[in-house]
Amino acid sequence: MFGVRTLALSAVAGLITSILADHTDQSVKQNALKHVDTKAVGEHIFQLGDITYFTDTIHATCEQAASGPDTDGSLFPITHIIADTPVVTANFIEDVISKYEQEDDVFNADFLQAIFFTCFNASATLDASAIQYLSTLNPSKLILGKAFGDHASNITGSFSVTVLSTTNAASLPPGPLVARSEDCGLAISTVYRLYTDDTRAFVDGVYPTSEGQRFAVKDIFNLQGIITTSGSASWTRISEPANVTAPAIRRLLDLGGVIVGKTKTTQFASAAEPWVWDDVYPPLNPRGDGMLSCSGSSAGSASAIAAYDWLDYAIGSDTGTSMRRPAAVAGVYGQRPSHGRMTLEGVTPISYSTDTAGVFCRDPYKWVKFSRLWYTPALYQDRSLTGLPAYDVSHGQSLPKRILYPVDYLPLKNPAAENILQGFLTKVTRAMNMEIEQFNWTASFEKLSQPADFNLARLLANLLVMWTHEHYELVGKSLVTMYEARYGSYPRLEPPMRDRFRSPDYSSAEHEAAREIRRLAAEAFEQQVLYSTADTCSESIILSDISTGGLPAYREEKLNLSPNASFLAPPGIAGTSGDFCPFFGCMDVTVPIGQVSYWSKKTLREETMPVTIGLIVKRGCDLMLYDLIEKLADADILKTVNTGVRAF
C-alpha cells in the first residue's frame, strides 16, 4: 500500500527547532539506502533504516550538471530546499529542515545525505553561516540549482558540489527526494513512504504526480488508468481501465489533493454486512475489539480514516446508508449531502434517484473545509437525474432554533449512549440557544398533504422501486449480458444482486410512478416538515440514529443475536431513520459524540465503541449545517477523533 508525503510549506512559517538538535549532532549516523525490490519498470522499493520507501524513476525530472563529480548510477536520498531569498543563511536552512521534521512523515535525517538547493531568484548564494551550518549536517553531496552557479566556486566543505545548468527543478516538490545519475543527467524523483494496510481497507494503493492533502477513494469512482472493481470480481473481469477520472475526483486533484489508494466496498456498493462479502475480505473496523462490523458500503474508506493518521480524507458514497452507517461504526465524520450536490459521472451507480457522494474525516474543521470546497455548484447534478425541485435559496443565513427528537426512533437502546446524547444536546442547546422538541416521523408521514393517503411504509416502498429498477438498468443488465457472452455463465453475485440482476422487478412505468410519488412527497416535506423561513434555510434539525443505539454490532452474524448486541440494520425498510433522507433528498450527517464500553464477545473483556448521532436538515441547507458544525467545534462540543481502538 503506497503512502505519499504531504507538505504545505508555503503556509507555515518559522517553526522552532528542538528536534533538529538531534541532527546537528555529527555523531548521528545516516542510514545507507538499501534496495528492496524493483516493481514495474522504473518503480523501486528501498529502505532507509527501518522505513520502506517507493519511487517511480520513470517520471523523474532530469537535470544536467554543469560541474561536479559523477556518481555510480545508484539511487541516493536527497533533501530539496527551495530558497525564496537570494542569500541563504544558516537560520533559513535550519527553519526549513525543522518544518520538514515536524510536518512530513516521509522526511528524516537519512535524506540529508545530499542537500539540494534551488532558488526562485535568478542569482543566489549561500552565506558563510549557511556553509558552516551545512557542515554540521554532514552531507556527502551538495547539489546547487542553476541560480547558485555564479557563486558556486566559493562554496566548499567536506562534501562534493554539483552545480546544475538546467532549471527543471522548479517542478520538484520541496523535501525528501531520490536521485541517480542517468544518461540524461541527474534524474530526480519523488519519494513515497510505504505504510502497511493492517485494517485491510484498501483494494489498491496508487501514487500521484502532484502534492497535497492525502485522500483515499472508494473503488466505485473511476481513476484514469485503473480498473474500477466496484467490489465485484465478475465486474472486474469484464472491465477495462477507466479512460477518464470521475469529475468528483478530478475536482479534488485540481484542488491539490493526492490520492493514495482505492478503498474496498461491498459488491456494487450494496448495504451488505461483513459476513455477506464474497469477493473481497471486509475491512477491519479498528474501533473496540477490532471485530465490530465495518458496515457497508463505504467500509474501506471509513475504516481507513479511523485507522490511519497518515490519511486526511476518504471519499465514499451514500445511496441508502452507505456513508452514514460506516461513519457511525467507525466513529468518524461523514455525510450524505443534499441529493444532487455532486456529479456521479464516472462512478459505478446504484440509483441516480438516490446516489450521493460524501467524505469521511476525523477533524470537524477539516471535514467542513473540504466539503465547502468540494461541493461546488459547477458539479451539481442535473434535476433530470434527481427528479427533485431546484434548491430553494430564498432564506436567511441564521441557524435553526429547534432540534427535533424523533420519539419513534429514539431514545438510543443503550442507556449509557442515550446519556451521552442527552449530554450532547444539553451543551448544544445552551451554546446555540436552541430548544429540543419531540417529533414523530411516522405521524409526519401520515400528515403530508401530498401524495394523498400514504403512510410511512407505502411511501418508502417507492425507494425500493427506484433502487432496484435503476440498479438493474444501469449495472445488472449489462453485467449479466457481457459476462454471459464472454464467460458463458451467470456472474458471481452476492444477495440481493444475485436475484435482482436476473430480471427487472419493476417496469419502467412503475419506476416513473415511484419517482413522481417521491417528488410530490419531497415537495410537501419541504413545506410542512423541514422548511425554510426568512431567517434560516432549515427551520429545524432532526436527530437521527443510523447505528445500533449504542450496542455493539459484530462482524460475525450470530453474535448479533445475543441480548447485549444488535444488528446494524433491522430487516425491512424504515427500520432506522436512515432511509428518510434518501427518500426526501435531505442532508444527513453522522458526527461522533462520545463512546461507551461493552463486554466483547470476542476478546472477553470490556472494550470501547463510538457513539454517533445523525443531524438532518432540509435539502439544500448543507452550508448552514457546515456552519453549525464549525460553531460546535469552536465550542469544543464536537472534537477531532483519534485513530485506532478508541475514538476519544
Ligand X SMILES: *[C@@H]1O[C@H](CO)[C@@H](O)[C@H](O)[C@H]1NC(C)=O
Chain contacts with ligand X (rule: CB under 6 A): 84, 86, 120-121, 125, 127-128, 131, 151, 154, 243-244, 407-408, 440, 442-443, 446, 562-564
**Residue whose grid cell is 452550508:** 623
Return the closest-CA partner of residue 578 out of 216, 389, 221, 295. Answer: 295
Shortest Å, Cβ 600 to ligand X = 11
Shortest Å, Cβ 565 to ligand X = 9
Q: For the CA atoms of 98, 104, 109, 113, what is the dihedral angle to 10 degrees?
A: -110
Which amino acid makes up residue 566? S
Q: 258 vs 551, which CB is nearer to ligand X?
A: 551
Q: 503 vs 597, which CB is nearer to ligand X?
A: 597
Shortest Å, Cβ 67 to ligand X = 16
The grid coordinates of residue 600 equal: 466483547
Q: 453 vs 636, which CB is nearer to ligand X?
A: 453
Give, in order, the Cα–Cα distances in Å from 414 to each of 45, 424, 635: 49, 15, 26
The grid coordinates of residue 639 equal: 472534537
Distance CA 191, CA 104 (A): 12
**Is 492 within 8 Å of 278 (Cβ atoms)?**
yes
Shortest Å, Cβ 441 to ligand X = 8
**Euclidean distance between the first and the last CA atom of the chain, given in angstroms as a whole number:** 27
Q: 22 vs 606, which CB is nearer to ligand X?
A: 606
CA angle 575, 275, 304 (to 5 degrees): 90
**Is 265 within 8 Å of 299 (Cβ atoms)?**
yes
**Is 391 within 8 Å of 619 (Cβ atoms)?**
yes
Distance CA 309, CA 105 (A): 10
Q: 33 vs 248, which CB is nearer to ligand X?
A: 248
- Strand-strand pairing, 540-544 and 402-406: parallel
Q: 135 vs 642, which CB is nearer to ligand X?
A: 135
Shortest Å, Cβ 86 to ligand X = 5
Shortest Å, Cβ 120 to ligand X = 4
Q: 86 vs 644, which CB is nearer to ligand X?
A: 86
Q: 71 vs 442, which CB is nearer to ligand X?
A: 442
Shortest Å, Cβ 136 to ligand X = 15
Shortest Å, Cβ 551 to ligand X = 10
Give, in order, the Cα–Cα distances in Å from 585 to each of 388, 402, 600, 625: 8, 20, 37, 15
Shortest Å, Cβ 87 to ligand X = 7
Give, in order, the Cα–Cα distances in Å from 415 to each of 412, 421, 597, 646: 7, 10, 12, 20
Shortest Å, Cβ 345 to ligand X = 12
Shortest Å, Cβ 442 to ligand X = 4
| Residue 173 CB contacts under 8 Å (≥ 6 apart), including other chains | 5, 7, 80, 190, 211
The grid coordinates of residue 143 equal: 547539489
Distance CA 215, CA 311 (A): 6
| Residue 327 CB contacts under 8 Å (≥ 6 apart), including other chains | 302, 333, 334, 360, 590, 612
The grid coordinates of residue 136 equal: 554540521
Shortest Å, Cβ 251 to ligand X = 18
Q: 411 vs 451, which CB is nearer to ligand X?
A: 411
Q: 25 vs 84, which CB is nearer to ligand X?
A: 84
Q: 95 vs 363, which CB is nearer to ligand X?
A: 95
Q: 205 vs 550, which CB is nearer to ligand X?
A: 550
Return the closest-CA partner of residue 273 out of 256, 250, 243, 293. Answer: 293
Shortest Å, Cβ 508 to ligand X = 24
Q: 119 vs 216, which CB is nearer to ligand X?
A: 119
| Residue 143 CB contacts under 8 Å (≥ 6 apart), including other chains | 68, 78, 114, 115, 116, 117, 161, 162, 164, 179, 186
Q: 360 vs 525, which CB is nearer to ligand X?
A: 525
Shortest Å, Cβ 292 to ligand X = 16
Q: 46 vs 148, which CB is nearer to ligand X?
A: 148
**Is 263 within 8 Å of 304 (Cβ atoms)?**
yes
The grid coordinates of residue 488 equal: 458463458
| Residue 417 CB contacts under 8 Å (≥ 6 apart), including other chains | 549, 550, 551, 594, 596, 611
Sign of the CA dihedral running 512, 513, 514, 515: positive
Q: 37 vs 446, which CB is nearer to ligand X?
A: 446
Shortest Å, Cβ 594 to ligand X = 18
Which amino acid makes up residue 296? G
**Is 470 within 8 Å of 352 (Cβ atoms)?**
yes
Shortest Å, Cβ 83 to ligand X = 8
The grid coordinates of residue 636 equal: 469544543
Distance CA 286, CA 292 (A): 8
